[in-house]
Homo-oligomer: A and B are copies of this chain.
Amino acid sequence: MKGSAEIICVGSELLLGDITNTNAQFLAQALAQLGIPHYYQTVVGDNPLRIQRAVAIACDRARLLIFTGGLGPTPDDLTHETLADFFGSPLEERPEIWADIQQKYARRGREVAPSNRKQALLPQGAAVLPNPGGSAPGIIWEPRPGLVVMTFPGVPKEMQMMWRETAVPYLQTEGWAAEPIYSRTLKFWGIGESNLAEQVTHLFDLENPTVAPYASQGTAKLRISARAANEAAAAALITPIADEILKIAGEHHYGDDDETLATAAGALLLQKGQTLAVAESCTGGGLGQMLTAVPGSSAYFMGGIISYDNAVKIGLLGVQPNDLATEGAVSDPVACQMAAGVRARLGTDWGIGITGIAGPGGSTDDKPVGLVYIGIAGPDRSVVSHRFQFGNFRGRDWIRHLSCCTALDLLRRSLQTS
């Protein structure tokens, strides 16, 4: 391990708040995975003097400076020029880069602008960090002994590809990466982060692996992270802890890492060879969208009916007008009839019906914003409805999101016990 890294993101659009700094998050995660320590991030605008000051500070506290942004063709793209100035190494044109840029534009049938030629200018002594996804290459450069500078464009996709394809192998080969951190994140629905955390507090003092609670988008997470020489050694540290957690809170666990509620339910449907249809009112298609975000979901998801208007609930789903009139659209019988109706109409094994008040309007005294009924109709022709009060302080988007996720979780639990 040669030293710590600092991430320096260059761009006035960051200082104006026009964009979120997702590049810093990507690089932070990537450095943690490589086991390269990283104590500071700096954001600075497109101003050569201020960029130079940031570089001077970073040189004092880090040995690996990772820049994003400022590699474009416009006059305010100044990263390479400023680094060349700061380290006293003139810019020089790299003919192979200029040829490459011209070729890339020609291939897309676009004319190359004279300003693009600027992107072929790199500091003397710097190696090219190729950019297969765009015109601006970065550099890997050791301007002083023991100090390495890497530059990436600000476009996240280009930066990420360059990081994976060139920077990671370089850092590993050159001995920057320490014992890497491997992690497994257990994901839970139907239990709050603090409630979950309280049940496993005894694990939070572990040192290797460590266990840490997180939450995002309503999912409670426990991340188990181990430093180890390789993946197998990490798994040997992580697995017993994961097993212990699952003994405690396994019923709420729907998957790990990249798994989602939709992939979890989908995998169970696939395994059982069963099919699904959805009837959505307040979620307006969001549940179908989550289900079909999974490639291959056509094997078990047949489709659905968005019954936003009551006439559609009656006409296409067979909801009883009488129940709509007496119980209201947001009610237990309507959720059940929607679920059973879409199951029958589309001839599937399972049917889900969602009806609720997403707000901000549409509430009554006994039916506040955030009230949602979810019906689940199963292969045995049973229909169960569940009532949720997601809270009127949460806002429309969040209530709709919780409704879709909860429906998927209910389906998962039904599939596991059926």
Contacts and interface: CB of A to CB of B under 8 A. Distances in A.
Complex copy number for this chain: 2
B306 A285 contact: yes
A280 B303 CA distance: 9
A39 B27 contact: no
Contacts of A61: 53
A303 B292 contact: no
A223 B17 CA distance: 13
A41 B309 CA distance: 49
Interface in A302-353: 302-309, 311-312, 315-316, 345-347
A263 interface: no
A345 to B, nearest CB: 7
Interface string A346-367: 1100000000000111000000
Interface in A256-295: 278, 280, 282-289, 291-293, 295
A25 interface: yes
Contacts of A283: 289, 292
A311 B312 CA distance: 19
B40 A50 contact: yes
A308 B312 contact: no
A20 B17 contact: no
Contacts of A28: 14-17
A57 interface: yes
A26 interface: yes
Nearest to A282: B292
- In the complex, which of the residues A13, A29, A284, A309 has the most CB atoms of chain B within 10 Å of its own CB atom? A284
A21 interface: yes
Interface in A3-59: 13-22, 24-32, 38-45, 47, 50, 53-54, 57
Nearest to A18: B214
A32 B280 CA distance: 41
A296 interface: yes
Nearest to A32: B16
Nearest to A287: B285
Given A42-B41, A308-B298, A22 B24 contact: no
Given A286-B289, A303-B312, A304-B305, 17 more contacts: A20-B20, A20-B21, A20-B22, A41-B43, A53-B61, A282-B292, A283-B289, A292-B308, A293-B396, A297-B308, A302-B308, A302-B309, A302-B311, A303-B306, A303-B308, A309-B346, A315-B346
24 contacts: A14-B25, A17-B25, A17-B27, A18-B214, A39-B44, A40-B43, A40-B50, A42-B42, A280-B288, A282-B292, A284-B285, A284-B288, A284-B293, A284-B297, A285-B286, A285-B291, A285-B306, A286-B289, A288-B306, A289-B400, A295-B359, A295-B361, A303-B306, A316-B316
